[in-house]
Structure 1
Amino acid sequence: MVDSQAETAPQPAGVRRPALSPSRAGDFKQCPLLYRFRAVDRLPETPTRAQVRGTVVHSVLERLFSLPTAERGPERARALLAPAWEDLLAAEPGLGELFDGAGDPELARWLDSANALLDSYFELEDPRRLEPEACELRVETELESGVLLRGFIDRVDVAPTGEIRLVDYKTGAAPREIGEAKAMFQMKFYALVLWRTRGEIPRQLLLMYLSDKQSLAYTPDEAELRRFERTLEAIWQAILKAGRTGDFRPNPSRLCDYCDHKPLCPAFGGTPPPYPGWPEPDPGPETVLDRTD
């Protein structure tokens, strides 16, 4: 149960307040029950090879920008791929079940496909001509309404003139209208957080789709970000309302076919586990599934 005291009471030492991330906000917009399964119940999910590949490619690009400018070439990026995969596997050994051992030819083909995405990246831009201010930047801010926003930005570029560009890598293909709106929701989230923390609206939001070598650039303005802020506040209030009773309702769509929790969904004859109650756990760092395109 949630009450006004529970929402404002000091948290015990070491416990972080519940926050809204772009991934979890997107989950609630898509399906409130999916939000509950992921953020409250914390039910396990099995990432796909494509999702894990996205995480590995992100890691390689982050490592690439940590190198001296002259070393950021395609061959060096390829050399970083295997170590990035090995480090992810060491951190999450269960991902090894995606393949039948190190000698699995499917693993070799998977790594080749990741290399192809890295090659595509170099066709979109030359990292030797860039010096980002930050990669994988953790950002957090509290809105005046009390909503805590938290997330990770793939890359922040700052021009000599001070203009800010936010960059997000997508390892899938450029989406159609619905997918594009979802991706831009994420970017507006980051733009709002950066505006509220630095007092400056990013000049450009850039989505780079590596699969088909396309980029999508967008310029937000203050009025739009203010409207978006109100949208996030409304989403959080809806989450709190559902949290008081555990009434996170399913919202069936074509995306249900890709949901690990479909067997537990009442819309398909399933029964969710008993509601564990609020408050929602801290969403923590991004997971492999948060890299889903």
Structure 2
Amino acid sequence: MKLLRYGAAGAERPGLLDDDGHIRDLSDHISDVNGAALARDKLAELAALDPATLPLISGNPRLGPCVGNIGKMPCIGLNYSDHAAETGAEIPKHPILFHKATSAISGPNDDVSMPRGSTHTDWEVELGVVIGTAAKYVSTEEALDYVAGYCVINDVSERHFQTQLTGQWTKGKSCDTFAPTGPWMVTADEIDDVQNLSMHLDINGTRRQTGNTSTMIFSVAEIIAHLSQLMTLHPGDVISTGTPPGVGMGMTPPQYLAVGDEMSLSIQGLGTQTQRVTMDT
């Protein structure tokens, strides 16, 4: 099942994508695709619906972030062995954690707006993990039982802010529009092996990133288990799990985004995002 949110920013409605690629409205069944709707029993109710009986949405409406009212977005840095190699970083002994501000979350095809004067804004295709059941002190073996589904995230990053403005990575990760999320959340039952998903990102039609979740240093289950020892993961929280090689910072010489660039990114089975780059005025 592919759950999504459509409509104007701040006024999105819940929906699902049917087998023909059409949006069906879920407003009669849930108020939003949020933590309350991601409980195991509620997802089972939604899965039992016949999409043909749901209102068909015509046209091509804007897609919002596929999860509403996200409580927190913990992110894992340097989590692909080949990406760590391209940056010259040592393999971390524990997951590197930072957070994106929820104000950075945007729709999958909304414009990405660079901060004023930015010259070091970068791209990162990442697997998003949507929590469906509160997780605290869970083991690696049981960790995936707490997952409602998966989605695509672009972990847009301003590298000067991230590395040169003294402090945590969050400074370069939390600018407005720096977390396009979606186009939809694919429920966990549709993903046979989350550690074998291909992924890629193009800039202006040129392939920049190519990877597979099989090269993660810490698996999705290990990430959930680790984070749950530090904080409770609540339904509707979304974890961004790291990026494969091919980021602008790792190129020789480094290459960053410019106004007018177009990013297109995809993960196997999870859909595609496309964003145009603008600049804050």
TM-score normalized with structure 1 length: 0.25
The structure with more strand, counted as a fraction of residues: 2
The structure with more helix, counted as a fraction of residues: 1
